[in-house]
């Protein structure tokens, strides 16, 4: 029934390439099918002004879409002179999700910024970003530990994210663009590798949804995220 | 246990004042306890460029906080030259919620903009905004019907919203500022008056939350929103 | 002759509500008839960069209009990304007027910012703002004295403001919107409670005006401001 | 008593050079002593959006200060990304003053923009701008008449402006920078060549001023503007 | 002598991957050693306002650098709210170079925008951008011809670009980052495949350079660009 | 053949007026025929953030065009809210050229900013700017030496600039506007007074150019710049 021929619970092939670029302390290209996001984690000394002198660190994220990552070219935000609402919403979501992974006190007065830049979009760019950014962040923290920039391990755990939705009346996992643009409901779920929820954001695109529908979407998300956790861990071992 | 002495499921006193200002087609002051938001719905001919010629209307929202609505003064966004990420996130949420109420085709090539301006903040400004904006939108649509600007009723139903959270380990409804700033988890739920979900956004502020916690929060939200629906309807009859 | 039926020298009913919101050190809702402005005075430690280390304080003001304070909705300045020329002109006028009330040396290195936000506009928003902001500023200074933030009283006196104009050939006081939009000449006068002038700004909207016309407008302004001074003082006693 | 040795009513030497640059339809360099402003009037077909189809024209003005027109370098507004409040206030004043000279209906759907750029500042840049812009505007209208762009003469009269102030307790005309920065009160007056007032803006810089002081300032302004009118007319004849 | 061990005239390994992303009409990843730029050409109907109704097309370019394309993270231009001077300079250079390839009249009222986004930087990002953008533009024009969007071939020829410089007193071709940051002089040359010059930009970074040095740099550039032309053509045949 | 009747190598009459305005430490009006640029050099204590504590100074430049310096009025960049790409490109070129004149170490922690504002444009505004800015910078450094702000002379030499181009198939020097807008190729050359190159920027406006054409343009530039050096030196002696 799904345009891609996938089963309801089937996610797209996921590929994680570490050390994708040379300069970043953590650099991951993540692919959810045709969605490709480059996640670069940068370690910088110091913290934003509102944290100065508090003896803790900070983790933040920025998100961008290359102008022709999409079917039709969208304006370059740098040229337009501001980031749109969608961009800000997504980068705030990524940042909150990543902060849930880290003991900011153990990080010391350092900042890790994860840039998620979408090279090619086919639905699910925010969930791919979070899943890839997690791996880049793990690599950046490893780098800090090797360099002695942190004394105790600030890593509390890992996160991954998936989109689920109601498409033609049925709950499906990991919507691609054709599904996403036709879905009645779209939900993004971010979870830890211990099976707890970090963020859940469900939006009725066309029709309000019932609690039963919510529950079946959540169920799919749980399984998909467990799969993503495994893929992340394999990538980190490799 | 709650700083306000309320029970877990008890929402704050809600007050809805219609026709609060003179010029807007719908003008509502809504109060959730000490949180006060002015919701003005403006009817304008025409639609944004991306909808021109499609024979349908548009519903949108803007959100702002007066600089001293909060404990300490925050910068005026107009003076800083841009709306922050939080503002954009909230006004997009309000707008999506309101669009779920309206048959945009029946609206004709007209736009309704609902401005939600927070006069005083004590937690829950986005949920108060949605609940009040709904009433202002109903009034604006009544105005359009009286003036003959629409032929069939574009109103599909009503929406209301509540925040729920985990505070000191227990699920509570309608968090005020002291609770909100100490909560482990914060969830905003937007529902129709037919008991369906429009938006659900849960964020682990301090600790990831379990599915059981989510379910108990959702349960509280359902009841609170039903109460809000009644208050909205009473206000509209008055 | 006047649309409102008032006599030439008659100002609209003025109402001043102190402690209108909860957080600000001075919070006043002022109404000049249907014009309603919320004036919040915020006390903050420190001074702007250009005053650092000079051992004096600062008083400033910001002005805004809710998008639907007016007959037709105007763009939100925060969304447009800048404050318009009219806004800047008005907030500079309010700030200069308020600084005339205060001994900045006695204020210490503290800043008081008065936010004047127009809830509903019917002409005279800048004069209502100044008159209300004066009361909010007095309250904020009282707060500082109670808290021991200042040693000597920095308050030098009070200010109030009124608009006067030539409407259908006759000088009138406190123009409302229908008069304002039809007036040949519009003049705003800010005075101290000792009968001296702080600011006078007269503009020929349609026709240049004579010195005789100016004098008759000034005469009306003097009386109106004396009345406003009384109303301010009563409000402060209450 | 005055730093310059001038008498109280004595204005600085005024010089008006027409056709100062080559491209503008009206181009005037005006000098009030060491204050030098280049006023270029540009004629353009069409009107701003809010006037389209109303069969009338528009006159507007923009003001700028070269970064090193002043004692110490000020930031370039183009580089900072916005015009400051003072700039906006001044250009709005110039524009209103110039519109008082012109029958906008007779102008047809044409726009005249007068750019006033301060080459060197020594006090009185806004009054020099208005006085010079008036001459540039007259030249631009002559150009339009020669080219047949207008059928009837849209020029209703001329305007000039002067600053007056209270300096060391005495009313003086045409303040230069040393006086301006020390003045208790500063007033700018714009008048027609028929002796009527277009704008009057008085500001108590240090001390509130009395009606007697205002009247003595206004008296000086009248005489000074009459002098300026003569100088403008001589320049236009030459 | 060169850090990379290359001879003076030796350019880095160049790799051109066509159809790198899925949506763009021309999509090329170009690598000059460790410098990697994604060049996406987008075909859009219509032309910018200044060309409307002139019966010709337009070719333009935008350039961006991912924040962590460089050794240390640089600010995201979209977040800072404007493109820097270096970015603007480079994108104007790319656009002028590409327009030299195209008969804009034959293009019809269509616009081709080539986005050059630097994935990883190691010197020479602007020359890699031009060389890769040329191939993407050729592909976009092929697409237009296949779709019948143009009647005659608008392609006039091809362009490529190389940087040359004086490094430790000797002229070298295709500077990588360690050379670039230490070079006395840096020159970028853009040429056609017929051996003519489109752009030449030489800058004395540390010391002014002589005409002899210029000539030896130009000589290297000629040979390098001829090599690049061959690589481009091979890529297009493949 | 040239519209102005000049020979191919003949530059326009050049005039350099020092001390053109009163406040700047170096103030030069330079005229290349009808092109007139005011170059003001400002000395300021301190350096930009990226140089703090490095014990060296900085030289920078800003460029602007008065809105009606050109045939038709162009938008004021301050009003539009940003500097265009052309402006940024030019001011970066001027700044690099001026820095080649100065030993930044000898300058101490001081900044010299040279503002180049085009009063009237007739082609060659960037080359006139550089040539005039050089003289203003020499004057500013003389001022610093007299005031004891520098211990050793930071001046390393002088620079001047000229445009050359291919007009109707022939190389010509110092293009005025009619030539510039019709030229096939346009090249700007900046050189020291010792005959070395600082910058060379050649652009094929219409047709790619050959190395022979480049060489003939460069030859013309050499002679023209030698002439400009003489004129600069005469002006500095006067």
Mutate to test the interface with E, among F200, F213, F215 (most CBs of E within 10 A): F200
pLDDT score for E51: 95
Distance from CA of A202 to the nearest CA of B (A): 5
Answer yes or no: is pLDDT of C206 > 90: no
- pLDDT value for C1: 85
Task: Give the up-direction half-sphere exposure of residue C35: CA atoms within 13 A in the CB hemisphere.
Answer: 29
Question: Which residues in chain D have Cβ-Cβ distances shorter than 8 Å to C200?
Answer: 187, 200-202, 214
Contact between A11 and A23 under an 8 Å Cβ cutoff? The reply is no
pLDDT of residue D44: 97
* Mean per-residue pLDDT, D123-144: 98
Tokens of A216: 């079946």
What residues are paired with B209 via a beta bridge? A197
CA angle B73, B76, B77 (to 5 degrees): 135
pLDDT at A1: 85
> What is the pLDDT confidence band of residue D5, given thresholds at 50, 70 and 90?
very high
Say what the pLDDT of residue E126 is.
Answer: 98
Q: Across residues F142-154, what is the average pLDDT? A: 96
- For the stretch C125-148, pLDDT in tens is 999 999 999 999 999 999 999 999
Pairwise pLDDT comparison (F116 vs A238), residue with the higher score: F116
Residues in chain C closer than 8 A to B21 (CB atoms) = 36, 68-69, 119-120
**Which chain A residue has the Cα nearest residue E115?**
A67
Tell me: the pLDDT tens digits for B131-188?
Answer: 999 999 999 999 999 999 999 999 999 999 999 999 999 999 999 999 999 999 999 9
Give the nearest partner residue to F88 out of E88, E196, E210, using CB atoms. Answer: E88
Q: Which pair of structure tokens corresponds to residue E7?
A: 């001879």
Question: Which residues contact residue C60 at a Cβ distance below 8 angstroms, ignoring those fewer than 6 apart?
Answer: C48, C95, C98, C111, C112, C113, C114
CB B109 within 8 A of CB D110: no
pLDDT at site C238: 84
Taking CB atoms and an 8 Å cutoff, what residues of chain D touch C49? none
C126 is in an annotated binding site: yes
* Domain ranges (residues) in chain D: 14-237
Residue D76 marked ligand-binding: no
Q: Report pLDDT for C234.
A: 97
Predicted local confidence at residue D1, as pLDDT:
85
User: What is the CATH T-level fold of the domain E14-237, as seen in this structure?
Assistant: Ribosomal Protein S5; domain 2 (3.30.230)
Mean pLDDT for F112-130 is 98
Contacts of B66 in chain C (CB under 8 A): 38, 40, 64, 115, 117
The confidence score (pLDDT) of residue E207 equals: 86
Tens digit of each residue's pLDDT (9 = 90 or more) over F175-221:
999 999 999 999 999 999 999 999 999 999 778 999 999 999 999 99
pLDDT for C67 equals: 98
Say whether E210 and F203 touch across the interface (CB within 8 A): no
Closest B-chain CA to C117: B66
Q: What pLDDT is recorded for position A200?
A: 97
The Cα of A74 is separated from the nearest Cα of chain B by a number of Å equal to 13
Whole-number pLDDT of residue B111:
98
Task: Tell me whether residues B38 and C119 touch, CB distance under 8 A.
Answer: yes
Q: Is the ipTM of this complex over 0.90?
A: yes
B165 annotated as ligand-binding: no
**Ligand-binding site membership of A72 (annotated):** no
Give the integer Cα–Cα distance in Å for D71 and B96.
Answer: 54
The region of weakest confidence among C60-64, D33-37, D204-208, E120-124 is D204-208
Reading across the β-sheet that carries F14-18, which strands appear in turn?
A: F14-18, F26-32, F35-45, F110-120, F58-65
Instruction: Answer yes or no: do A68 and E23 touch at CB < 8 A.
Output: yes
Work out the pLDDT band at A96, boundaries 50, 70, 90: very high
To test the contact with chain A by mutation, choose from B211, B218, B223 the residue with the greatest count of A C-beta atoms within 10 A, namely B211
Distance (Å, rounded) from C-alpha F88 to C-alpha F90? 5
CB contact under 8 A, A76 and E115: yes
Residue C203 has its nearest CB partner, among D82, D192, D199, at D199
Instruction: Say what the pLDDT of residue E99 is.
Output: 96
3-state class of B6 per DSSP?
coil
Residue F28: predicted pLDDT: 98
Q: What angle do CA A70, A75, A80 make, to 5 degrees?
A: 155
Query: For residues E157 and E194, is the Cβ–Cβ distance under 8 A?
Result: yes
pLDDT at E205 over 90: no
Select from B68, B70, B118 the residue whose CB has the most chain C CBs within 10 Å, as the one to mutate to test that interface. B68
- The yes-or-no verdict on residue A207 having pLDDT over 90 is no
Secondary structure (3-state) at A116: strand
Contact F200 E197 (CB under 8 A): no
Q: Is the model's pLDDT at A157 over the cut of 90?
A: yes
Average pLDDT over residues D172-186: 95
Please state, rounded to an integer, the average pLDDT across all residues of chain C. Answer: 96
Cα–Cα distance between F26 and F18 in angstroms, integer? 8
Confidence (pLDDT) at F181: 92
- Positions in chain B whose pLDDT score sits under 70: none
Nearest chain D CA: its distance from C28 CA (Å):
25
User: What is the reported pLDDT for F218?
Assistant: 95
The pLDDT of A176-186, averaged and rounded, is 94
pLDDT of residue D206: 78
Does residue A205 register a pLDDT over 90? no
Cβ D121 vs Cβ C121: under 8 Å:
no
- At D98, the pLDDT band (50, 70, 90 cuts) reads very high
- pLDDT at residue number F105: 96
pLDDT digits (tens, 9 = 90+) for D147-158: 999 999 999 999
CB contact under 8 A, F21 and D120: yes
The percent of residues in chain F predicted with pLDDT above 90, rounded, is: 98
Q: How far is F22 from chain E (nearest CA, A)?
A: 31
Report residue C205's pLDDT band, with 50, 70 and 90 as the boundaries: confident
- What integer pLDDT is reported at residue A238 of this predicted model? 84
Note the Cα F42 to chain centre separation in Å: 16
Average pLDDT score, chain E: 96
Contact call for residues A110 and A57 (beta carbons, < 8 A):
yes
* DSSP secondary structure of D91-104: HHHHHHHHHTTB-T
How far are the Cα atoms of C165, C214, D164, F185 from residue C171, in angstroms, in the given order?
Answer: 6, 9, 25, 67
Question: Is pLDDT above 90 for F86?
Answer: yes
Closest partner residue to C88 (CB to CB) among D88, D199, D214 is D88
pLDDT of residue D207: 86
Mean pLDDT (chain F) is 96
């Amino acid at each position: 029934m799904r345009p891609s021929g996938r089963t309801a619970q089937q996610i797209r092939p996921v590929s994680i390439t570490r050390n994708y670029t040379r300069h970043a302390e953590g650099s991951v290209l993540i692919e959810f099918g045709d969605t490709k996001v480059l996640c670069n984690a940068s370690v910088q000394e110091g913290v934003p002004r509102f944290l100065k002198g508090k003896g803790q660190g900070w983790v933040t994220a920025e998100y961008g879409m290359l102008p022709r990552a999409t079917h039709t070219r969208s304006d370059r935000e740098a040229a337009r002179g501001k980031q749109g609402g969608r961009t800000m919403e997504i980068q705030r979501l990524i940042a909150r999700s990543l902060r849930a992974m880290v003991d900011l006190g153990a990080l010391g007065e350092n900042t890790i910024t994860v840039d998620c830049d979408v090279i090619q979009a086919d639905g699910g760019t925010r969930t791919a970003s979070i899943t890839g950014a997690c791996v880049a962040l793990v690599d950046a923290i490893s780098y800090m530990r090797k360099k002695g920039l942190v004394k105790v391990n600030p890593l509390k755990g890992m996160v991954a994210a998936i989109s689920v939705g109601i498409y033609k009346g049925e709950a499906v996992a990991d919507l691609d663009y054709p599904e996403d643009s036709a879905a009645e409901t779209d939900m993004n779920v971010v979870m830890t590798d211990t099976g707890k929820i970090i963020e859940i954001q469900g939006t009725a695109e066309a029709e309000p949804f019932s609690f039963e529908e919510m529950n079946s979407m959540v169920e799919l998300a749980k399984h998909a995220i467990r799969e993503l956790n495994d893929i992340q861990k394999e990538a980190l071992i490799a």
